[in-house]
C-alpha cells in the first residue's frame, strides 16, 4: 500500500506501531510512535526497506527531454536498470535445475534458429534466456502518460521494468520523440549484444568511463562470464508504439501500410497501387497470399540506400552543413520529421548530401542538437535519406540487437483482434439488431429506438452472464459492467466498440452469436446467417489458441487460418466494412510458425504491468518520477506474492 500510494510513510509507520503493540509479528522494524515530524517517518522507511541502497543498481544515461520547469530542452540523467543483472540473478541456479525447466518442444524456430542459441551450441540451449522486449505508453493522470520499457523472461514468465519516461517530456523538435528514445535504445543494444556473448557489459553504453562509486561493481564484472546467455526472440507492443520504436511505417502510410507485404490501403476497403485488394480473401491460402511478401533483403537494401555516413574534416565543412539544417515539424505533406537539410550540400565529389536528408544520432554525436558545438575533428555523422525511404522512417536502433529482424516483431492479438476485428463485429451486430427492430419496439423515432433497443439488449446480456456463470463457475471471463448507446459508436457504416477493454469485448462475442440465434425470424435471414457464421468462426479461432503449448502444429495453424478467412468473408458479405486489422490477422496467423501461439505473445499478458506502473506513478512527485517509480516498482515486486512479476532491484543475501 505504501508502494502504490494508498498509505504515506507516516501512516504506514504509525499503523505498524499499533499493529506491533497489538501482537502482530514481523512488523516491529517498520513501526514508529506517533507525534514525530513527518520527515522522520520517511527516513525510517528508507533505512528499513533499503530504499537508499540503489546507487550501484542503477545506470544513469543522459537523455534529451523537454523540461517542464525550465521550459527548454535539456540533457537529463535518466535512471535505468540493467535487465541482464536482474535476470542473471534469477538464473543463478544449478545446471541440473535449469535443464529441468527446459524442453525443446516449448520453443519455436525464432528461438532454435536465433544466432545466440546457435552460437551457444546444442548442449547449452538450457542456459539461454529467451527474452521479449515490450514497450508501451499509458496514461497515469488525466493529462499525462508514461512510456515504459519492460523485458520479459519467457522461461520463467517474469517481467522486469527497465525505465520509465514521462510522455509530455519527450523531445518535440519534429523528431517524433526519437531524440529521447535513442539513448535508451543504445543502452538496450549494448546490454543485449554483450549478453548474447555471455559476458557482462564491457563498457558503459554511452562510451564514457565507469563512474566512481555507482559503477565500481560493474567495473569489476566488465567482460566476465555471466550466468546465462540472453536472446531477444520477440518484440512486443501495439503497432503504433512499435512503429515509433522501430522506425516503421504505420498502417496509415501511403507507401507501406503493411510491414509484411506490398498491399496498400485507403479508407474503406479499396486499394491503391496494388493489383489485388488487401481484402481479397478468396485468393488467400496459408501457403500463398496474393500480395508479395517483403523479404529481409528489401529491408537491408533500404538501410544501405538511406543510411548515409559522412566524415566531416573541419569546422568549415561542419558550418556549411549546419547553415542548411532546420527543424521540420510539419504534420502533413512532404515531411522530413526532424533536423533535416533544406537544400543540397556538396563537400566534394564523393561527399554530398541531398535536400531532406535528416541528421541522426551516431557514436560521435549522441545528441543531434549538439552538432553546432562539435570541436574535435574529424567526426563521423549519420543522415537518413528521407527521399528514398519506402519501408522505414529511420534505422531503428533495436535492429542492431543480435538476431533482431522484422520477423522478430510480434503482432498483438489484443489490438488486432479484440480491439479491432472483434470490436467492429460486436458493434456491427448490435447496430444490426437495433436497426432491424428485432424487439418490436413501437417507436417511430430513431433515437428512442436506439435507447429502448439498447435497454433490451442490456437485459439480455445480464441474463446471459447469469446463465454462463452457472454453467462455468470457475471461468474468469471479464464481464462488461454497463452497456450504453455511446459504447457502440456513432450510427454509421463503420461502428466500433468504445470504452471497453479487450477481455470485455471478447466476452461479448458469444453473447452476440447467442442473440443472433435467439432472434431467428425477427432479423433479415441472409445477413443474420452470415453474421452467425462469422461469429462462430471467431469463437472456433479462440478455442484453438487456448492451448497451453507455445509451438503449434501445421494442422492447427491451418484451422486458425480457415477460421479467419470464413469470418472475414462472411462479415464482408453481411455488409461489414473491412479495416487493415482484418488483413493483419492473416499475417498474425502465418507468423505462428516462427513465433508460436498468438495467445502466448499477446500484449494482453503485459498490459497489467502498465496499470501497476500507473498506480505507482500516481503516488510519486513528478520531479522525482523517474527514479521513484523504479524504486517503488522494485519494492512492490519484492514484497508481492511470488506469482507476480519479478523485481528489478537486486536484494542482498540477507534479504533472500
Say if 403 falls within a structural domain.
no
| pLDDT for res 497 | 83
Same domain, 444 and 507: yes
Say if 166 falls within a structural domain.
yes
Say if 179 falls within a structural domain.
yes
How do 128-139 and 229-236 pair as beta strands? parallel
Same domain, 88 and 211: yes
Say if 261 falls within a structural domain.
no
Same domain, 583 and 534: yes
| pLDDT for res 655 | 40
| pLDDT for res 162 | 92
Nearest-angstrom CA–CA distance, 252 and 236: 20
Expressed as residue numbers, the domain containing 435 is 413-600
Say if 401 falls within a structural domain.
no
Q: For residue 467, give every residue at least 6 positions away whose Cβ sits within 8 Å of its Cβ, in sequence order, or none.
A: none
| pLDDT for res 352 | 92
| pLDDT for res 86 | 86
| pLDDT for res 232 | 96
Same domain, 343 and 488: no
| pLDDT for res 307 | 92
Same domain, 591 and 517: yes
Q: For residue 306, give every residue at least 6 positions away whose Cβ sits within 8 Å of its Cβ, in sequence order, or none.
A: 384, 385, 386, 388, 389, 392, 395
| pLDDT for res 13 | 87
Which of 577, 600, 623 marks a domain boundary?
600
Nearest-angstrom CA–CA distance, 231 and 267: 40
Residues in the chain, total: 656
Q: For residue 130, give every residue at least 6 positions away whose Cβ sits within 8 Å of its Cβ, in sequence order, or none.
A: 107, 111, 153, 154, 155, 231, 233
Same domain, 614 and 486: no
Same domain, 44 and 59: no
Rounded to two decimals, the pTM is 0.86
E strand segments, 260-376: 307-312, 325-328, 338-341, 345-346, 352-353, 357-360
Say if 254 falls within a structural domain.
no
Q: For cell 566524415, name the residue.
A: 311
Please identify every stretch of the chain with a pLDDT value under 70, giving residue numbers as ranges. Answer: 1, 3-5, 50-56, 265-276, 333, 444, 490-493, 637-656
Q: Are 60 and 28 in contact (CB under 8 A)?
A: no
Q: For residues 520-534, b (16+ Cβ closer than 10 Å) or e, as one string? A: eeebeeebbbbbbbb
Same domain, 165 and 307: no
Tell me how crowded residue 594 is: count the other CB atoms within 10 A of its CB: 15
C-alpha cell at 593: 510458425
Same domain, 89 and 149: yes
Same domain, 30 and 92: no
| pLDDT for res 639 | 65
Closest of 279, 217, 207 to residue 58, by C-alpha: 217
Q: Are 531 and 447 in contact (CB under 8 A)?
A: no
Say if 232 falls within a structural domain.
yes
| pLDDT for res 54 | 54
Nearest-angstrom CA–CA distance, 482 and 480: 6
| pLDDT for res 565 | 96
Same domain, 67 and 146: yes
Count up the domains in the chain and report the number: 4
Same domain, 353 and 427: no
Q: Are 35 and 646 in contact (CB under 8 A)?
A: no
Nearest-angstrom CA–CA distance, 510 and 536: 8
Amino acid at each position: 500500500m505504501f508502494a502504490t500510494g494508498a498509505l504515506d510513510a507516516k501512516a504506514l509507520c504509525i499503523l505498524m506501531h499499533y499493529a506491533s503493540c497489538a501482537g502482530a509479528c514481523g512488523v516491529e522494524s517498520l513501526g514508529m510512535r506517533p507525534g514525530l515530524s513527518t520527515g522522520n517517518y520517511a527516513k525510517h522507511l528508507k533505512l528499513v526497506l533499503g530504499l537508499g541502497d540503489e546507487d550501484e543498481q542503477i545506470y544513469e544515461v543522459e537523455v534529451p527531454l523537454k523540461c517542464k520547469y525550465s521550459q527548454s530542452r535539456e540533457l537529463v540523467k535518466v535512471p535505468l536498470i540493467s535487465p541482464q543483472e536482474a535476470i542473471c540473478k534469477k538464473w543463478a541456479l544449478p545446471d541440473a535445475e535449469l535443464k529441468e525447466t527446459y524442453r525443446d518442444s516449448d520453443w519455436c524456430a525464432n528461438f532454435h534458429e536465433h544466432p545466440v542459441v546457435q552460437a551457444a551450441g546444442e548442449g547449452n540451449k538450457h542456459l539461454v534466456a529467451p527474452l521479449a522486449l515490450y514497450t508501451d505508453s499509458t496514461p497515469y493522470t488525466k493529462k499525462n502518460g508514461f512510456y515504459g520499457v519492460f523485458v520479459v523472461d519467457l522461461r520463467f514468465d517474469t517481467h522486469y521494468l527497465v525505465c520509465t519516461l514521462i510522455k509530455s517530456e519527450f523531445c518535440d523538435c519534429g523528431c517524433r520523440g526519437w531524440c529521447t528514445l535513442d539513448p535508451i535504445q543504445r543502452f538496450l543494444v549494448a546490454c543485449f549484444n554483450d549478453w548474447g556473448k555471455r559476458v557482462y557489459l564491457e563498457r558503459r553504453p554511452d562510451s564514457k568511463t565507469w563512474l566512481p562509486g555507482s559503477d565500481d561493481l560493474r567495473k569489476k564484472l566488465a567482460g566476465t562470464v555471466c550466468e546465462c546467455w540472453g536472446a531477444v526472440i520477440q518484440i512486443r507492443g501495439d503497432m503504433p508504439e512499435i512503429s515509433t520504436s522501430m522506425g516503421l511505417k504505420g498502417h496509415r502510410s501511403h507507401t507501406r501500410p503493411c510491414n509484411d507485404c506490398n498491399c496498400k490501403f485507403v479508407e474503406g476497403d479499396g486499394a491503391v497501387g496494388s493489383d489485388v485488394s488487401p481484402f481479397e480473401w478468396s485468393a488467400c491460402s496459408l501457403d500463398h497470399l496474393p500480395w508479395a511478401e517483403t523479404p529481409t533483403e528489401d529491408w537491408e537494401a533500404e538501410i544501405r540506400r538511406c543510411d548515409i555516413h559522412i566524415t566531416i574534416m573541419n569546422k568549415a565543412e561542419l558550418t556549411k552543413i549546419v547553415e542548411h539544417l532546420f527543424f521540420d515539424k510539419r504534420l502533413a505533406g512532404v515531411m522530413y520529421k526532424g533536423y533535416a537539410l533544406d537544400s543540397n550540400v556538396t563537400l566534394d565529389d564523393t561527399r554530398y548530401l541531398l535536400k531532406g536528408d535528416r541528421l541522426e544520432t551516431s557514436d560521435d554525436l549522441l545528441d543531434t542538437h549538439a552538432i553546432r558545438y562539435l570541436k574535435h575533428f574529424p567526426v563521423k555523422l549519420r543522415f537518413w535519406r528521407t527521399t528514398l525511404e519506402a519501408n522505414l522512417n529511420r534505422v531503428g536502433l533495436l535492429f542492431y540487437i543480435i538476431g533482431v529482424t522484422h520477423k522478430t516483431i510480434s503482432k498483438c492479438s489484443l489490438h488486432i483482434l479484440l480491439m479491432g476485428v472483434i470490436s467492429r463485429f460486436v458493434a456491427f451486430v448490435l447496430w444490426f439488431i437495433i436497426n432491424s427492430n428485432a424487439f418490436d419496439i413501437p417507436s417511430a423515432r430513431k433515437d428512442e429506438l436506439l435507447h429502448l433497443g439498447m435497454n433490451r439488449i442490456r437485459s439480455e446480456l445480464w441474463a446471459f452472464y447469469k446463465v454462463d456463470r452457472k454453467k462455468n463457475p470457475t471461468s474468469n471471463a471479464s464481464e462488461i459492467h454497463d452497456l450504453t448507446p455511446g459504447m457502440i459508436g456513432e450510427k454509421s457504416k463503420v461502428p466500433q466498440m468504445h470504452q471497453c477493454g479487450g477481455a470485455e469485448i471478447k466476452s461479448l462475442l458469444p453473447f452476440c452469436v447467442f442473440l443472433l440465434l435467439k432472434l431467428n425470424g425477427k432479423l433479415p435471414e441472409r445477413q443474420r446467417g452470415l453474421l452467425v457464421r462469422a461469429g462462430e468462426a471467431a469463437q472456433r479461432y479462440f478455442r484453438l489458441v487456448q492451448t497451453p503449448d507455445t509451438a503449434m502444429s501445421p494442422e492447427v495453424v491451418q484451422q486458425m487460418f480457415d477460421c479467419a478467412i470464413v469470418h472475414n468473408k462472411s462479415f464482408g458479405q453481411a455488409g461489414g466494412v473491412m479495416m487493415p486489422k482484418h488483413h493483419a490477422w492473416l499475417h498474425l496467423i502465418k507468423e505462428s510458425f516462427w513465433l508460436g501461439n498468438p495467445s502466448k505473445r499477446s500484449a494482453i499478458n503485459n498490459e497489467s504491468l502498465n496499470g501497476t506502473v500507473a498506480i505507482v506513478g500516481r503516488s510519486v512527485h513528478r520531479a522525482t518520477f523517474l527514479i521513484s517509480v523504479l524504486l517503488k516498482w522494485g519494492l512492490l515486486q519484492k514484497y508481492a506474492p511470488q506469482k507476480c512479476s519479478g523485481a528489478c532491484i537486486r536484494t542482498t543475501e540477507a534479504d533472500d
